[in-house]
Amino acid sequence: MKKAHRIGYSRYFDDKEFEKHLKFISRNIDVVDEIALFTEYSHFGYWELSSQREHAVLLKKRLNSYRAAGVKSVGLNVLDTLGHLEEGWEVFPKPPMQTMVSINGEISTSCLCPNTEEFRKYIAERYSILASSNPDFIWVDDDFRIGNHGVAGPCFCQTCIDKFNRKTGRGETFESLTAAIKAGNGEINGEWHRFCYDSHSEVASIIEKAIHSVNPDIIIGEMTGGTEHWFDELKAEKGRPGGGFYEDSHPCGLLSKVSTCENQILSYPPFVTDIQYEFENFPYRELGKSKTMMALEPYLAVMAGCSGVAFNTSGHDNYRLMEVLHGHKARYDALTALTEGKHAAGVNVGVYELDLMKIGVPSTVDPRYACAYMIGRNEAEYTADEQLKDMLSKGVFIRASALPIIEKRGYLGLCGVKLGEKYHSGISERFTDHVLNGDDAGYICNCYMNFFNRDRENNFVTALIPQKGAQTLSEAITINTAEPVGACLTIYENELGGRVAATTYDYPDSFLFTTKRRQIISIFDWLSRSALPAVIRHECKVTAMFREDDSGNFVCLLANMNYDATGEFEILLRAKADVFKILGNDGILREAEQRKTDDGIFVKISNIEPWKTAVISGETR
């Protein structure tokens, strides 16, 4: 695992501070593979070019000092291309060029319009100046994005509107364009977004040419916060997925972060091979993350598809982080080697869909390697007809929010149900004596449906009317008399040969009921035709991340996302592998205790302490 560090302005600008900082780096050189210097100290968009020329001289000197200290790769992180947000406008000089204008006509104080000639000349010269400091690489930070620039983003200034009209043949004014976009006009929204994307593409090409005209060997990197990026135009070989999880008050926020990072990586072109997870604790609070969480985060990042981690501590030398890296270096490196050439496998879920991760069902955002699919509102609404029909011919779990959309699109017949009456209060769920419920028949699960969603009109449970061949796993019952009002969880095998589960009693974190967890795991095992790559029946809150290659070699990481130790348990693994090993804290693989069954291989896990991990490797002979 590449251990990269982003270093803030305050650590290198002053000679005495830099001397102390360089000694710190030298003492920890075995866990410092790469250093990137932030070229600015604020998120303000404009930086005067004469000061940048002076700064480039200092940057070159500092980069050479790192090289002399033994750092293998040194470069720059350009924090501000357009500017991140409104910051520092009362202390910095006003930018001498057009700043962004919001859809409501507000004028940004800090973020620059990407379409003016003044900006494009400025940004070309600025990147050329920075490239003259002889870095090995230059990162373009994620302020190079279309939206989310404080008051503005994208820009609706007159320059942008005139250029948009020339490209599209339209004759829009500020008033007509913004009114159409606010009204949700699909055609003009699409044209406007394409114009904004193309404008950024033009700027990206300018940046690439500016850097490579100085030195064609400088590697360019792009940080992303979503799946929209400009790697091709930048000719960028480095990618840094990120966004969020700045501190660990809510530890399961880490699952959301790695899920969105996995989705970003999936969108990267194949020539982006140096993928560094953004380890962020903005605004650089030393106590924002515990050493325990700092140690855990890189393991999940590697399992999400990253080959390295960019640690962002910026304003200080983080002794606690270095202690963590020394303690876990061997195991980080071994895990990274084990994931090479492997892809995530499991149930295909949407970004930010964490319910399955929390209960230990392996998931992937890549539909190509799915053993089953979970369909929520977004998937139901935006998945193309051909792809949706293909999913319904395999194994699908349809959530309550998706069912009305599935009905509207004409696919409810493939789900084996019709939608019945809506109940806005007073409903709980009772398990039937279906074989998938096992010994939990008769269990009543009450999510207190009005407690977490108090919108009386839009919070409801729809009674499902099972059609011929559908089987009921849970029925909706009244909370006072336990009278059934219809089904609320069914399974069905449709005419396409697909297996479908449909639910309408669907509330936040309901899978964390231990009985519900057992039911959900059984359902997904049925949907996948016993192809779930990893199954944990033990009652614990362990996240399972599974990666495999086409030959059947795999690595499975188990992260205990709870404050209690798991105790001893077994995990069922289904893979072609013949040899099963456990990765030790020393980075060495040792033979696992296992037993073979017709359903797969059971591997014994002695215990996982809170917020710690176990790693299982499987190899084919």
Least confident window among 6-15, 281-290, 305-314, 398-407: 281-290
Tell me the three state secondary structure of residue 606.
Answer: coil
| Contact yes or no for 181/190 (Cβ under 8 A) | no
> Are residues 474 and 503 both part of a single domain?
yes
Predicted confidence at residue 286, as pLDDT, reads 84
Instruction: Report the C-alpha dihedral over residues 249, 251, 253, 254, rounded to 10 degrees.
Output: 130
> Are residues 336 and 380 both part of a single domain?
no
Assign 315 a pLDDT band (cuts: 50, 70, 90): confident
Predicted confidence at residue 353, as pLDDT, reads 84
Assign 287 a pLDDT band (cuts: 50, 70, 90): confident
> Are residues 498 and 385 both part of a single domain?
yes
Assign 28 a pLDDT band (cuts: 50, 70, 90): very high
Least confident window among 278-287, 559-568, 577-586: 278-287
Alpha-carbon span 381 to 389, nearest angstrom: 13
Predicted confidence at residue 453, as pLDDT, reads 83
> Are residues 302 and 330 both part of a single domain?
yes
Does the pLDDT value for residue 285 go beyond 90? no
Does the pLDDT value for residue 156 go beyond 90? yes
pLDDT digit string, tens, across residues 88-120: 999 999 999 999 999 999 999 999 999 999 999
Residues 6+ apart with CB under 8 A from 312: 6, 278, 279, 280, 281, 282, 284
> Are residues 468 and 564 both part of a single domain?
no
Token pair, residue 235, equals 């000719």
Match 């991340």 to its residue by tokens.
545
Predicted confidence at residue 104, as pLDDT, reads 97
**Region 350-367: what's the mean pLDDT?**
93
> Are residues 601 and 480 both part of a single domain?
no
Residues 6+ apart with CB under 8 A from 3: 31, 32, 33, 34, 308, 309, 311, 325, 329, 332
Residue 606 maps to a domain:
yes
Least confident window among 96-105, 231-240, 286-295: 286-295
User: Would you give the distance in Å from CA 426 to the centre of its chain?
Assistant: 36
Q: Which among 156, 54, 57, 152 is positioned nearest to 111, based on CA atoms?
A: 152
Residue 44 maps to a domain:
yes
* DSSP 8-state secondary structure symbol assigned to residue 152: B
> Are residues 362 and 495 both part of a single domain?
yes
| Contact yes or no for 150/110 (Cβ under 8 A) | yes
User: Would you give the distance in Å from CA 552 to the centre of its chain?
Assistant: 26
Residue 110 maps to a domain:
no
Q: For the domain that residue 576 is a member of, what is the CATH number? A: 2.60.40
Residue 166 maps to a domain:
no
Does the pLDDT value for residue 441 go beyond 80? yes
Mean pLDDT of the chain: 97
Predicted confidence at residue 583, as pLDDT, reads 99
Structural domain count, the chain? 3
Assign 443 a pLDDT band (cuts: 50, 70, 90): very high
Maximum distance among all Cα pairs of the chain, rounded to whole angstroms: 79
Q: How many CA atoms lie within 13 A of 44 on its CB side?
A: 16
Task: Mark which of 340, 370, 404 sits at the end of a domain.
Answer: 340
> Are residues 214 and 333 both part of a single domain?
yes
Assign 330 a pLDDT band (cuts: 50, 70, 90): very high
Question: Which H or E run includes 78?
Answer: strand 73-78
Predicted confidence at residue 389, as pLDDT, reads 97
Predicted confidence at residue 463, as pLDDT, reads 97
Residue 42 maps to a domain:
yes
Q: For the domain that residue 68 is a member of, what is the CATH number? A: 3.20.20.70
Alpha-carbon span 570 to 511, nearest angstrom: 20
- Domain housing 563: 542-619
**Region 247-262: what's the mean pLDDT?**
96
Predicted confidence at residue 297, as pLDDT, reads 98
> Are residues 215 and 308 both part of a single domain?
yes
pLDDT digit string, tens, across residues 506-543: 998 999 999 999 999 999 999 999 999 999 999 999 99
| Contact yes or no for 292/611 (Cβ under 8 A) | yes
Q: Which residues of 197-212 are buried (b: 16+ CB within 10 A; e: fewer)?
A: eebbeebbebbbebbb
Task: Mark which of 294, 313, 340 sits at the end of a domain.
Answer: 340
Does the pLDDT value for residue 458 go beyond 90? no
DSSP per-residue letters across 308-364:
EEEEEEETS--HHHHHHHHHHHHHHHHHHHHHTT-EE-EEE--TT--HHHHTT--EE
What is the percent of the chain where pLDDT is above 90?
Answer: 94
Assign 313 a pLDDT band (cuts: 50, 70, 90): confident
> Are residues 217 and 270 both part of a single domain?
yes
> Are residues 497 and 557 both part of a single domain?
no
Does the pLDDT value for residue 169 go beyond 90? yes
Predicted confidence at residue 283, as pLDDT, reads 85
Residue 106 maps to a domain:
no
SS3 content of the chain, % helix, strand, coil (to 5): 35, 25, 40
pTM: 0.96
Residue 163 maps to a domain:
no
> Are residues 387 and 433 both part of a single domain?
yes
Task: Mark which of 532, 563, 593 sits at the end of a domain.
Answer: 532
**Region 57-75: what's the mean pLDDT?**
99
**Region 60-81: what's the mean pLDDT?**
99
Does the pLDDT value for residue 62 go beyond 90? yes
Does the pLDDT value for residue 612 go beyond 90? yes
Predicted confidence at residue 252, as pLDDT, reads 94
Tell me the three state secondary structure of residue 514.
Answer: helix
